[in-house]
Chain A
Amino acid sequence: MSRISMEQVKHVAHLARLAITEEEAEQFQNQLEQMISFAEQLNELDTDQVNPTSHVLDMKNVMREDVAKPGLPVEEVVKNAPDSKEGYIRVPAIME
């Protein structure tokens, strides 16, 4: 019996914006279960007094001068868009 339910798998797929079939959901359920079990070996370590590392170098908030510079040309930017019109990128309607 998996600790990760099919509902959870489908919820995660929705958060990840992936359309999955029932069959794929079962596959992900197994694989997630396997990987999560593997990852739980980390619980052997007591890390209560350990700070998390998100970045290995001792640097923070690298700033630059706030100087205006030209952006990329619009025609270049939309060149790779699957659907564009007059410099705008078109997507399916988001409102009724």
Chain B
Amino acid sequence: MSLFEQKVSELHQRLHNKEISVTDLVNESYKRIGQVEDKVKAFLTLDEENARNQAKQLDDQLVKGESQGALFGMPIGVKDNIVTKNLRTTCASKILENFDPIYDATVVQKLQQAETVTIGKLNMDEFAMGSSNENSAYQATRNPWNTDYVPGGSSGGSAASVASGEVLFSLGSDTGGSIRQPAAYCGVVGLKPTYGRVSRFGLVAFASSLDQIGPVTRTVEDNAYLLEAISGVDPMDSTSANLDVPNFVNSLTGDVKGLKIAVPKEYLGEGVGEEARNSVLEALKVLEGLGAVWEEVSLPHSKYALAAYYLLSSSEASANLSRFDGVRFGHRTDNAETLIDMYKQTRSEGFGDEVKRRIMLGTFSLSSGYYDAYYKKAQKVRTLIKKDFEDVFEKYDVIVGPTTPTPAFKIGEKVADPLTMYANDILTIPVNLAGVPGISVPCGFAANGLPLGLQMIGKHFDESTIYRAAHAFEQATDFHKQFPKL
């Protein structure tokens, strides 16, 4: 049995009892990577020498009996759009092929304080733009449950590395579903925190009003531990919320008696597959059995979320990605005489097709004469979508539905048609637009053997309630105890 089939709290106890060492945990990671990485292709960069040295240091501390936090010695993978000092960070783009960050993201500093061990950097869709990891400039990560299928995206490496047991847990980022969708596709737990819960300092920006960093784990309890470690206000991110960080693990009481669940009819309707719908109805029976109550509600503007999202996120991306110009860092063309040509050639050589497509859409919708009709219109629709959630949360504690309309699709199946690819995200995007937290937990398997995810959405800064509900559901089922055979 892999050590990573155990929870953080169990491994912590075993470290404390000196039954295992941090070196054992780090060995487990690299051993498993050696066995399956050829098939999974989750990592872009490994940091083996540093990780092994750090493990030795932590083991020395362990011998001395110095006090250890909950995450002490736990091996973690980090998505490659989160900057790590002196550890190559590419955003899976050619334009940052040799980028060597000179500082650590705030979440990485917090991991260091928690004394986790960074195993390496994880593959993703280029600049987090995509739903399958096929937009990585380097490699397509595979779904550990069936390597002909995508792991989802953009945090596909984060989900696949956890599902395949290469790391105990990982960090991803979520702009329109990029943590929850791959978590669902790979059968693991992924949370997008409330906007502002986790500092974005050092997260290479895609769409600044939507991006959040969050944890990908095997269990809800591990997720709560990891979120607690990375949360909190940060002077380096003015959009981080100045609120105390709750003890999320304490909220895992197993008690959901009287919990009021809203099930939006739009989340079980048109465009949502039979298997996803049935798995949610089964999950609702489980929750009912535990004493929760549910009713059907409406989020009437859901169908407009996708269009609003693509205008807003692409507009923000077109501004954020203007920094990649070949001047201060990253790729620079050899084929330009003038400064303007240098910018243009550098960007055309460095960015992939999907990134260019979104920069074009964003630049168009922000350009003079179109701003009101497209960008501002989308911002107004965002207000309506946010209001939909506020109305439902006046009467209910959590919103429940599928994470994705279908299980994972085959590699290559949707690359030709961007709009079909984008439709994977119809159930996760509204959550980012409203800024509320959402989690995906495993809730079954499709006929083809691929996992399905249950999405639970909470009020602003009420991760505790969705953790409580997700944990109660997880403990009443055994989907999280199944592992892919690689």
Contacts and interface: CB of A to CB of B under 8 A. Distances in A.
A92 B351 CA distance: 21
A57 B384 CA distance: 15
A82 B377 contact: no
A42 B100 contact: no
Contact of B378 (A28, A39, A82): A39
Contact of B307 (A12, A38, A53, A76): A38
Contact of B209 (A56, A82, A93): A56
B111 interface: no
A17 B319 CA distance: 11
B344 A17 contact: yes
B102 A77 contact: yes
Interface in A46-80: 47, 50-57, 59, 62, 64, 72, 76-77, 79-80
A52 B379 contact: yes
A57 B195 contact: yes
Interface in A79-96: 79-83, 89, 91-94
A7 to B, nearest CB: 13
B480 interface: no
Contact of A45 (B329, B330, B381, B435): B381
A8 B242 CA distance: 44
Given A15-B363, A17-B325, A57-B239, A42 B308 contact: yes
A79 B322 CA distance: 20
A11 B312 CA distance: 20
A59 B239 contact: yes
Contacts of B336: 92
Interface in A22-47: 28, 31-32, 34-36, 38-39, 41-45, 47
A35 B422 CA distance: 11
Nearest to A57: B196
A53 B360 contact: no
Contacts, number: 161
A94 B151 CA distance: 46
A11 B366 CA distance: 13
A41 B102 contact: no
A80 B330 contact: yes
A18 interface: yes
Interface residues of B, number: 68
Contacts of A43: 377
B459 to A, nearest CB: 12
Nearest to B361: A35
B359 A62 contact: no
Contacts of B384: 45, 47, 50
Given A41-B304, A56-B209, A82 B326 contact: yes
Interface string B360-378: 1101110100000010111
A12 B367 contact: yes
B380 A52 contact: yes
Interface in B374-417: 374, 376-384, 386
A12 B363 contact: yes
Interface centre among A18, A56, A89 (most CB of B within 10 A): A56
B235 A64 contact: yes
B138 interface: no
B325 A56 contact: no
16 contacts: A16-B359, A16-B360, A28-B356, A34-B418, A39-B307, A41-B307, A42-B307, A42-B378, A45-B301, A45-B384, A47-B377, A59-B239, A62-B238, A79-B102, A80-B330, A93-B339
Which 9 pairs, one residue from A and one from B, show the smallest C-beta to C-beta distance?
A: A56-B435, A52-B379, A82-B332, A80-B329, A19-B344, A47-B380, A62-B238, A16-B363, A19-B348
Given A4-B364, A52-B382, A91-B327, 13 more contacts: A16-B363, A18-B356, A19-B344, A19-B348, A32-B361, A35-B419, A38-B310, A45-B380, A45-B381, A56-B433, A57-B196, A82-B327, A92-B338
Interface of B: 98-100, 102-103, 195-196, 209, 235, 238-239, 241, 301, 303-304, 307-308, 310-311, 318, 322, 325-332, 336-345, 347-348, 351, 356-357, 359-361, 363-365, 367, 374, 376-384, 386, 418-419, 433-435, 460
